[in-house]
Structure 1
Amino acid sequence: MGASKLDIYPESINQMAAIAKVFAHPARIAILQYISKQESCICNDIVDEIGLSQPTISQHLKVINDAGLLKGNFKGKSICYCLNVERFKEFQIVLNSFFNGTTSNCC
């Protein structure tokens, strides 16, 4: 079996790809925008606001969480979500470094 992307590329590239995956889907961006305007919220709040089914929202939340962009606390049987602002700041630094390190000498 061939090597996986986790084996081929350095951790920094894999992390950038995971976060870029979050921003590659409009529903995930809408979820992040909604969460960013709340003190905290649970999945059903997001379902009501975004208009997608609960399982679909949960799948999107998993992708966002896997990238480290969410913090969550258990509240009864629900998880209260909020943004991981520190992780967003780290991602901003990584992206700025990436774009500032590129050259414009192409074609």
Structure 2
Amino acid sequence: MDETAWNTVDRLVAWLDRNSELPEETRTILQILKITEEAGEVAEAVIGATGQNPRKGYSHTWADVQEELCDVIVTAMVALTRINPDARQLFTEKLERIAARSLAVD
């Protein structure tokens, strides 16, 4: 993954920390829970993009879904950085293992 993205994540973590008076452990737990909140927004956008809520109809677009998915990714990167200072390496290794396992069948 692009190093610039991880540098931005580091800046986001620092910004969040500067703007919170909560204990570090609480900030980490809440950041992990934030992933679920963002995933719920993805679900809401998919429901809206497919018009599955009769009361709301087509309330979202697939562009909205894409934006919400990006929010999930960024939120997860921030959470991973909070619990592992070597998040970049961990993620790279995990992605390589997934690729080796999944792409080996091609």
TM-score, L = length of structure 2: 0.34
RCO comparison, higher one (Cα < 8 Å, 6+):
2
TM-score, L = length of structure 1: 0.34
Tell me which protein shows more strand as a share of its residues: 1
